[in-house]
């Protein structure tokens, strides 16, 4: 465990998937079991209701039920939900409701659909950060949300809001980590948001990882982060070479379907998704299955299933 009160966002945080029953409802029994399984592998908290959690397909009451289940399951370890909404007011309401059910932090996303200039995006993010006293991660993913928060802009926001304590950097450019580390206060942690950039991101100064394939491979993910963090370059490189074909499933358009399919194939979940997403085609499943089977035949020594 690497989190502390002064650095609540250091370590490994699964972007946990949302499991669904055959009738499309949320499978809370599996959600609880799955979260505890990943925490037992050495994770430092849980991030539900993100992109991987299909938050845009969940109604407000479903989101709150997910948070209540996870807060109870983690028994004091931080639950850090994604806060995303079409409107600023909706995001503020969700942030406050998350606080009220016991979440330990928040991950603030830019608004769905609408994108604009820094003045408007800053106002939106500032409202989410100021909605509660909880520590907040700013989520920068220009590829997905069409809003790109640059290092000076994030530093401006952090200078005005002491509870902005983390940045999830998902631009795909590890130079952003270097730029952020050079300009942000030491109290603000930088977390890698793309699975196939974790070793490079840590080398550039990141101190956390919000991970996707961890939903199927928690022990391997935690081990990789620890090796990179501790400067054990040769061991990290060996594990990374094995893991990269799987980690690259996190950075394509159907990453939600693919990661859930990997969970199902490895016995750690279901491939069910909610529309507008559809489950993978047979050809896509065959391609993903080949990646899984190749990896399963050469698991590095020292990491478990």
Residue 40: what pLDDT? 98
Question: Considering the domain boundaries, does residue 191 fall inside one?
Answer: yes
Question: Considering the domain boundaries, does residue 305 fall inside one?
Answer: no
Say which range, 38-47, 120-129, 143-152, has the weakest mean pLDDT: 143-152
The verdict on whether residue 210 carries a ligand-binding annotation is yes
Across 34-53, average pLDDT: 98
Residue 254: what pLDDT? 98
Q: Is 145 a catalytic residue?
A: no
Residue-wise pLDDT tens digits, 106-145: 999 999 899 999 999 999 999 999 999 999 999 999 988 8
Phi, psi of 122, deg, nearest 5: -65, -40
How far apart (Å, rounded) are the C-alpha atoms in residues 179 and 190? 11
Q: Is 168 a catalytic residue?
A: yes
Residue 226: what pLDDT? 98
Q: Which residue out of 168, 217, 240, 254 is catalytically annotated?
A: 168
Question: Considering the domain boundaries, does residue 264 fall inside one?
Answer: no
pLDDT tier at 36, thresholds 50, 70, 90 = very high
Q: What's the total number of domains in the chain?
A: 1
Question: Considering the domain boundaries, does residue 179 fall inside one?
Answer: yes
pLDDT tier at 22, thresholds 50, 70, 90 = very high
Residue 305: what pLDDT? 44
Residue 38: what pLDDT? 98
pLDDT at residue 301 is higher than 90: no
Question: Considering the domain boundaries, does residue 96 fall inside one?
Answer: yes
What CATH number is given to the structural domain containing 196?
3.20.20.70
Dihedral of the alpha carbons of 87, 91, 55, 218, in degrees to the nearest 10: 150
Residue-wise pLDDT tens digits, 279-299: 999 999 999 999 999 998 776
Residue 220 sits at the vertex; the CA angle it makes with 56 and 203, to the nearest 5 degrees, is 85
Q: 135 is written with which tokens?
A: 């520590």
Phi, psi of 200, deg, nearest 5: -65, -40
Residue-wise pLDDT tens digits, 64-73: 999 999 999 9
Domain region containing 32: 11-231
Given a contact cutoff of 8 angstroms between Cβ atoms, the answer to whether 128 and 97 are in contact is no
Question: Considering the domain boundaries, does residue 127 fall inside one?
Answer: yes
pLDDT at residue 52 is higher than 70: yes
Residue 186: what pLDDT? 95
How far apart (Å, rounded) are the C-alpha atoms in residues 17 and 211? 11
Residue 1: what pLDDT? 58
Q: Which residue out of 77, 139, 145, 240 is catalytically annotated?
A: 139
The rounded Cα 63 to chain-centroid distance in angstroms is 16
pLDDT tier at 4, thresholds 50, 70, 90 = confident
For the chain, give the mean pLDDT: 96
Residue-wise pLDDT tens digits, 259-272: 999 999 999 999 99
pLDDT at residue 304 is higher than 60: no
Residue 5: what pLDDT? 80
Across 91-98, average pLDDT: 98
Question: Considering the domain boundaries, does residue 272 fall inside one?
Answer: no
Residue 144: what pLDDT? 87
């Amino acid at each position: 465990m690497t989190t502390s009160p002064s650095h609540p966002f250091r370590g490994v945080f699964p972007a946990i998937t949302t499991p669904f029953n055959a009738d499309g409802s949320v499978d809370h029994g599996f959600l609880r079991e799955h979260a505890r399984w990943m925490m037992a592998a050495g994770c430092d908290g849980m991030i539900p209701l993100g992109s991987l959690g299909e938050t845009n397909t969940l109604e407000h009451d479903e989101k709150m039920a997910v948070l209540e289940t996870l807060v109870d399951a983690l028994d004091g370890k931080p639950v850090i939900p994604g806060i995303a909404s079409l409107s600023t007011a909706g995001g503020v309401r969700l942030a406050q409701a998350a606080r009220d059910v016991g979440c330990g932090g928040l991950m603030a996303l830019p608004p769905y659909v609408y994108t604009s200039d820094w003045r408007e995006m800053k106002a939106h993010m500032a409202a989410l950060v100021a909605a509660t006293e909880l520590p907040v991660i700013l989520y920068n993913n220009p590829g997905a949300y069409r809003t790109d928060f640059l290092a000076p802009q994030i530093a401006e926001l952090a200078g005005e809001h002491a509870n902005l304590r983390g940045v999830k950097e998902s631009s795909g450019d590890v130079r952003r980590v270097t730029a952020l580390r050079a300009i942000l206060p030491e109290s603000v942690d930088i977390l890698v948001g793309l699975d196939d950039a974790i070793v490079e991101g840590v080398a550039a100064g990141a101190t956390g990882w919000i991970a996707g394939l961890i939903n199927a491979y928690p022990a391997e993910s935690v081990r990789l982060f620890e090796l990179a963090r501790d400067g054990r370059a040769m061991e990290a490189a060996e594990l990374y070479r094995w893991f990269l074909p799987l980690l690259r499933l996190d950075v394509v358009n159907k990453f939600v379907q693919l990661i859930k399919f990997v969970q199902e194939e490895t016995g750690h979940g279901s491939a069910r998704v909610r529309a507008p997403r559809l489950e993978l085609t047979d050809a896509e499943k065959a391609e993903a299955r080949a990646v899984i089977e190749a990896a399963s035949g050469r698991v590095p020594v020292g990491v478990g299933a």
